[in-house]
Amino acid sequence: MKEQSEDIRINPEMEASNLLKLSSLLFELSHPWRLKVLLLIAEEGQRHSYISQKLKISPQETSRHLTRLQDAKLIKKDAQGFYRLTNYGKAVLSLLPGFEFLAEIGEDLMTLNLDIPKEFIERIGELKSFEKTEGVMMIFRRVELALADAEKYMWILSPEVLMSTVPIIGKNLEKGLEFRLILPKNVRYPPKFEPRQCEHLRFIDEIKISIVMTEKSAGFSLPAKDGKVDFSIAFASRDEEFHKWCENLFLYYWEKAIPKHLHN
């Protein structure tokens, strides 16, 4: 008897049920007090009275939010009267930094394009601690200062060569600092400038984000809708998670880039 192929498509009723669950979860997270409760008890459990006092809301209001979070299976109350996150609540809370970052730069993403590999978008919450700088000259000056402050390495992914950084990079190379530079294959060098033949330089087809980082700090600029990197807005930080995200993304492109001696 011939076996019938299994239809692995999502059943419409199941899909509707999943969307209902998602919308219900998002509704519970939509209230700022409930978010504050989750964040307050994230590290360790807290009693009702402490939560009410800490958030400066009435006991009745506190009870209402705690009940809703319990019904949503995000928190539970133990035998000692402490409210704690469930494993489900911990998983949900771990995703919130990503939404927090996107909410903060939402206006910028109306003109900028977050065109990076999916795996890094999924880790976007690691960028939650950042400082935004606006203005081309201000950003270029911060790049110069960051490179001048480097003591171990300088990594740059850029669609063009910032001439004001060349003397700084030269001095750091003399000190023995590690240097990595990724440029687009069709890069146009400034007049009377040609990078020397070295293992520090690689080329890639297209640059969709500009990254400048040292062992101390990291920063990046995103492309506008026309695909060209917009150097009028930059996001930077000395935060460890932010730095790791930039490091991993740089290395992702470094592995895909072609060394200079193979570039025609």
One domain for residues 158 and 253: yes
pTM score of the predicted model:
0.82
> 61-110: per-residue pLDDT in tens?
999 999 999 999 999 999 999 999 999 999 999 989 999 999 999 999 99
**Residue 37, domain CATH:** 1.10.10.10
One domain for residues 89 and 110: no
| pLDDT of 3 strictly over 70 | no
pLDDT at residue number 221:
97
| pLDDT of 192 strictly over 80 | no
Rounded-to-integer distance, Cα 96 and Cα 132, Å = 20
Q: Is 24 helix (H, G, I), strand (E, B) or coil?
A: helix
Average pLDDT (203-207) is 93
The confidence band for 5, taking pLDDT boundaries of 50, 70 and 90, is: very low
**Residue 180, domain CATH:** 3.30.870.10
Assigned domain for 115 exists: yes
One domain for residues 116 and 174: yes
Domain boundary residue, one of 66, 95, 124: 95
Q: How far apart are the first and last CA of the chain?
A: 61
Q: Is 180 helix (H, G, I), strand (E, B) or coil?
A: strand
One domain for residues 177 and 118: yes
Number of domains in the chain: 2
| pLDDT of 196 strictly over 80 | no
One domain for residues 109 and 53: no
One domain for residues 128 and 256: yes
Q: What is the dihedral of CA 232, 254, 116, 246, to 10 degrees?
A: -60
One domain for residues 114 and 208: yes
| Burial group, residue 249, by CB count within 10 angstroms (0-12, 13-18, 19+) | buried
pLDDT at residue number 195:
66
The confidence band for 7, taking pLDDT boundaries of 50, 70 and 90, is: low
One domain for residues 119 and 249: yes
One domain for residues 252 and 125: yes
One domain for residues 201 and 134: yes
One domain for residues 127 and 243: yes
Lowest-confidence region among 48-52, 117-121, 160-164: 160-164
Assigned domain for 36 exists: yes
pLDDT at residue number 151:
97
Range of the structural domain that residue 66 is part of: 12-95
Q: What is the mean pLDDT of the chain?
A: 90
Assigned domain for 2 exists: no
